[in-house]
Amino acid sequence: MTIGNQNSDELLGKIRGAFKSAFDIDPQTVTLDTVPGDISAWDSMGHVTLASSLEQTFGMTFDVDDLMAMENVKEIYRVVQSKLGQVQSA
């Protein structure tokens, strides 16, 4: 599966890196099925820290709707993938 010029494993790897940066956890523990309950620091303030880490990792910004949608790793992946697609087609 290719997303712009990034394949899905590369995209998930970058998301994992953002989780490591935000929460200082083993990035391999992060999967598409990871939810906030799986990571103790992923509370409301942790979500802001994670969003900032993701913005730095991908060089993009998230609006309030994006932040509200990013309720688990699968949705974070979808939002980032969508934003990368917008960048690619711009």
CB atoms within 10 A of CB 23: 19
**pLDDT at residue 72, rounded to an integer:** 98
pLDDT exceeds cutoff 70 at 2 = no
**DSSP H stretches of helix in 1-90:** 8-23, 44-58, 64-69, 73-89
Q: Report the distance separating Cα 19 and Cα 31, nearest Å.
A: 11
pLDDT tens figures, 29-88:
999 999 999 999 999 999 999 999 999 999 999 999 999 999 999 999 999 999 998 765
Q: Domains of the chain, with CATH numbers?
A: 2-89 (1.10.1200.10)
Q: Tell me if the pTM is above 0.75.
A: yes
pLDDT value at residue 7: 77
Q: Which residue has the tokens 């509200």?
A: 68
Q: Give the separation between CA 62 and CA 82, rounded to whole angstroms.
A: 11
